[in-house]
A and B are shown apart, each in its own frame.
Chain A
Amino acid sequence: MKVARGELWAGRFLLLALMAFTILPFISIFMTALHPSGTVPGGLEWPENPQWINFVTAFNMAEMPKLLASSIFIVLSVVPATLVISTMAGFAIGLLRIPGASVLLFLFVFGLTLPFQGIIIPIYFLERAIGIYNTRVAIALPLIALYMPFAVFWMRAHFVNMPSELSEAARVDGATTWDLFWRIHVPLAQAPVASLGILTSIWTWNQFLLSLVLVEDPTQRTMAGGLGAFQGHYANNVPLLCAGTILILVPTLIVFILFQRQIIVALLQGSLKG
C-alpha cells in the first residue's frame, strides 16, 4: 500500500512521541539515582557529581544477593512444576479427551476470572495451618495453583489442534498413553511450553501481593516483593530509592532485551488466547 509522505511523517512523529513517553520515566529515575543520597533533585536534571556509589549502597541495603537468590529459587520451583503439570492436564483434556474433559476445562477457565485478592485471605490462613507461612514455599505453591487456569487452557489449545493421525499411528504401534505423551507429544509441544515458561517466569518475578501477604522477611520474597519492602524503608531518600529500583529492574530488562521477540509474541498470544 502506498503511503503519502505527510502521513508517513505524521505517523513517525506520533510513534516517536509515544516512545519518549515510555522512555522518559526511566531516564528520569536514572538521573535522579545519580544525585547525592538524601537530596531532592528535579525530575530531569543531570547531577554535577554523578554519585555512582548510590548503586553500591542500594545494592547492599536491599540485600540484593539474597533477594536475587530468593527470586531465582522461587522461579525455579514454580515454572518447571507449572509446565509439567499443566502440560499433562492439557494433554488429557485436549488430546485424550477423557470423559468429563469439558467439565474440567470449564472448572479451570472459571479460575481465569478470579483476582488474586479474592482468595488471598483463606490462602493466608491455610498456609498458617499447614505451617509453610513465611517461607519461599508459601509463595511458590499458591502461584503454581494460580497459574493453572491459564496454563491448562494454553496447553489444551495446543493439544486440541494436534492431528489425530499422529496418535492413531502410535497406537497401532502399540504405544501406551505415557509413550504417546512423553515420546511423541511433549517434543512437539516445545514452542507453546517455551512461551508458557517465559510468561510464568515474568509473572513470578513480578509477583507482589503474595509476597507481601505471605512472607514477612523481604529476603525470602520475589524481586517485586523485595522492592516493595525497600520502598517502605527508603521512601524519603529519593536518589537511593531510584537506584534500588533500577537495580531491581536490570535483570528484567536484560532478559527482555535478550528475548524480546519471544516475550512480545508470548504475551500477545497469551492474552489473545486467554
Chain B
Amino acid sequence: MVILMMTSDKRPAAFMTSRRTYLSKRVRRETFVGWLFTLPALFMYAFFVLVPFLLTIVYSFFRWNGVGPMTWVGVKNYVYVFQVPNLIGTIFNAFWLVVWFSFIPVGLGLIVASVIHRVATGRFGAVARTVLFLPQVIALVAAGIIWGWLLALPGLINQALRTVGLGALTRAWLGDFNWALSAVGMVGVWVLLGFCIVLLQTGMTKIDPALYESARLDGASWFQEFLAITIPLLRHEIGVCLTVTVIAALAAFDIIWVTTAGGPGNSTSVPGIQIYILAFTQRAIGPASALAVMLMILVVIVILPIQWLTRESAQ
C-alpha cells in the first residue's frame, strides 16, 4: 500500500492512462519479490528453529530412547518431571540463580551507576567502561574455568578470607552442598554486573541534569532523587537489564557445566544441565523434552511481565 501512495503523484502524465492495471501488476510483483527477500532467512529459521521447537513439544509426549520406536505416553513425562525431586528441583535452583544473576547485578548496578555516573567522565571513565565490560565478551566457559579455580580450596577467595582473618569461613565453595549454588551465582554477578552498570550509566547520561538541579533546590536527598528521578526515567534500561539477566539465569548452562556440572548431588543443577544429561547421557528423550518445554514456558512467563511493565516508557 505504501507503494501505491508513493507512485501516485510523482508519475509522469503519460503513464496515467494505464495506471490502474500497471499498478496492480506492479504491486503483485513487488509483493512476490519482497517475499523472495525473506525466503532465505525464513527457510533457515523454520528448518533449524521452528521445526525443532515443534519437535521438542512432540517428543515430550513420547517415550523414546533416540533410536528405537517411539511410544505415546500422553502427559506422563510432565508428571515424571514434577515428581522427581532432582528434575523439579532444577526449576527452584534456576529461580535462586535469578537472585544472583539478575537482582544483585541490576540492584547493585543501579546504585553503583548513580554514584559513578558523575565521576566516570573523560579518560578514566572510558577505561573503567572497558574494564567493567571485559567479562561480557569472554566465553562463559572461560569465566567458569577461571572462577572454578578462584573458588577452589587454595584459590583466591579463600586466600583473601584468610588474609582478613576469616579463615574459619574457608571451604571448597563449589563442592559444598549449601554454598555451591550461591558460589555459581557469584560467577554470574562477575559476568553481568559490569554490563548492567555500563548500560544503566549510559542511560543516566541521557537524563536532563536540570531535573537533579531542581530536585536539589527543593532539598531532596540522594536517595529521594534516586527514587523520584533516576528509577522512573531509567525504566526502559532497567527492563532491558532484567530481561537479559533473567534469561541468563534461567537458561544458564556453560558456567555451571564447567564449574560443577550440576553437583555436588543436584545442588547446582538447572534445567539446561538436566536437559543435557537426560537427553545425551541417559537417552531419556521424553522427560528431557518435557523439561525443555517447561523451561521455554517459564522464560516466557517471567519475561512477558517485565517487557510489559517497562514498555510504556519506551514509546
Residues of A within 8 A of B (CB): 1, 3, 7-8, 10-12, 14-15, 18-19, 21-26, 28-29, 32, 40-44, 84-86, 88-89, 91-93, 96-100, 104, 107-108, 111, 113-126, 141-142, 144-146, 148-149, 151-152, 164, 167-168, 171-172, 177-178, 181, 202, 205-206, 208-209, 212-213, 223-225, 227-228, 231, 238, 241-242, 245, 248-249, 252-253, 256-257, 260, 263-264, 267-268, 271-272
Contact = CB atoms under 8 A, between A and B. Distances in A.
Given A164-B6, A168-B10, A245-B146, A227 B42 contact: no
Contact of A104 (B42, B154, B213, B251): B42
B128 interface: yes
Contact of A148 (B44, B116, B134): B44
A92 B35 contact: yes
B116 A14 contact: yes
Interface in B50-75: 50-53, 55-56, 59, 66
A125 B37 contact: no
A22 B135 contact: yes
A263 B146 contact: no
Q: How large is the interface on B (under 10, 10 to 19, 20 to 34, 35 or more residues)?
A: 35 or more
Shortest Cβ-Cβ A-B pairs, 6 listed: A43-B156, A145-B48, A98-B34, A11-B119, A115-B251, A122-B55
Interface string B1-30: 111001100110000000000000000001
A21 to B, nearest CB: 7
Contact of A7 (B2, B118, B124): B118
17 contacts: A3-B119, A7-B119, A21-B190, A23-B131, A28-B155, A88-B37, A114-B296, A115-B272, A117-B251, A122-B52, A122-B53, A145-B45, A171-B10, A238-B149, A248-B139, A267-B133, A268-B202
B112 interface: yes
Contact of A89 (B10, B38, B112, B131): B38
B79 to A, nearest CB: 19
Nearest to B300: A113
Question: Chain A's interface: helix, strand, loop or mixed, by majority?
Answer: helix
Interface of B: 1-3, 6-7, 10-11, 30-31, 33-35, 37-38, 40-42, 44-45, 47-53, 55-56, 59, 66, 112, 115-116, 118-120, 124, 128-142, 145-147, 149-150, 152, 154-160, 190, 193-195, 197-199, 202, 209, 212-213, 236-237, 240, 243-244, 247, 250-251, 253-254, 257-258, 271-272, 275-276, 279-280, 285, 288-289, 292-293, 295-296, 299-300, 303
Given A26-B146, A98-B34, A146-B49, A115 B133 contact: no
B135 to A, nearest CB: 6
Given A122-B51, A212-B257, 18 more contacts: A18-B112, A22-B194, A29-B149, A89-B42, A92-B35, A108-B41, A116-B253, A117-B271, A120-B275, A177-B30, A205-B139, A208-B141, A228-B141, A231-B141, A253-B134, A263-B137, A264-B129, A264-B133
Contacts of A267: 133, 136-137, 195
A5 to B, nearest CB: 11
Given A12-B119, A272-B240, A119 B53 contact: yes
